[in-house]
Chain A
């Protein structure tokens, strides 16, 4: 039997809504606040207020996995080199959390993955250390240098660095949020990425989706609109320029290698061909979150036992 693609995609969005995982979300927030406090206590006047920069701040999170990134903005004079900054924050977090979490160095961040709690829930938070370009300049330009610990697309590890106005990145997707529901498309692409073990950074997917909305007239049902974005990625991913809205000198397209880009283009081509051939394939590329089956609500209503005035009894509330 053919699958109603629009209804299915709508159900995918519903079953991956973040609020479904309120409990786990609250646990992430508590840990994030705790880490934030610990950093401020440790670094005092050398650090500005840490802030969220992951998808949660951007409202494109899906509940299979939360991207909880905590930006730790340091003053220029706090460390002599970016490498020192990265290692110092790593050492501090390792010492503080090694008995309750795996702490590891990642591309531009330090990942803290807490051991499963008694409900089997795992909280993972990435701390991204950044240093302002010149002493006291961050208050004016919001710009930070990040340390590239390991190869990041075309950016080499070690001495290299990228500059990024991360607050502007967060703002960018908020600004674009209304256009024909761009965020829905970003969420769906993230669902695809998660279940199909694909590599593109979420930020890359966000920017290319915004670009597709800029270039194309996107209309029709949910599937038609998603298909336009997928076709745009298929046709343009190998050549597209995606300047970082936080800093136009930073080319986010470089965060993927040429090989990864053509693989992504192939993935998009295959996905469209399969789904157009047989609509049931949409369930494979975009699965429901089986933890939260979507129930049929079409028969639910505000019912009345009879058409007559209701007289509520005296009632106590607390």
Chain B
């Protein structure tokens, strides 16, 4: 089953890549607008051979991780707090919804103004994205705590911090982890969009430079590197998730007993 799916995936990829390559070679589409896979591959190889790409990759990775960690920590803490303090939550609710409705791209120039062209403005942009994902998921996770398990913990003698440690946090963990997967993507978006709109380094900057000179090969090559970069990060997060949530039944594997 798994092998079959893999095989089909590889075939689909081959079909798309070869289709693209030959459409360009046969002159059906214009290489100026669409580049072609062989050129893109060559460009990527060149970037890695000259080592030109590493500086950009590194800076984007750094911005992504900072935004991811800061946004997640803030989001989880706020989520915990508001889920456990109904008054604060009621008061802040409209503010949070209002802030979340702002399209973040609009903030990018302001952050550049505030924090300059360096890493800080990209991290700030990423944080505004990551924060809400972590916040809403944590909040939801805490609200969905099984009341019977909670009552059981209290009967066994848990209170305050102990409830947090033994019930709320582990119960919210699967929500928080599913938020991590989404968050890492958002952190990348924050970093790359920030770089794209104004920076001196990073994958976003690389792509915007290529666009500036109508170098479609460069644009596509940048996109491919970015996609692989995100897939690798996502894979790393899911590995951590699998290790920390061993207690969960595998979804779909068993019906579970009552």
A binds B: no
Interface residues of B (CB under 8 A from A): none
A interface, CB within 8 angstroms of B: none
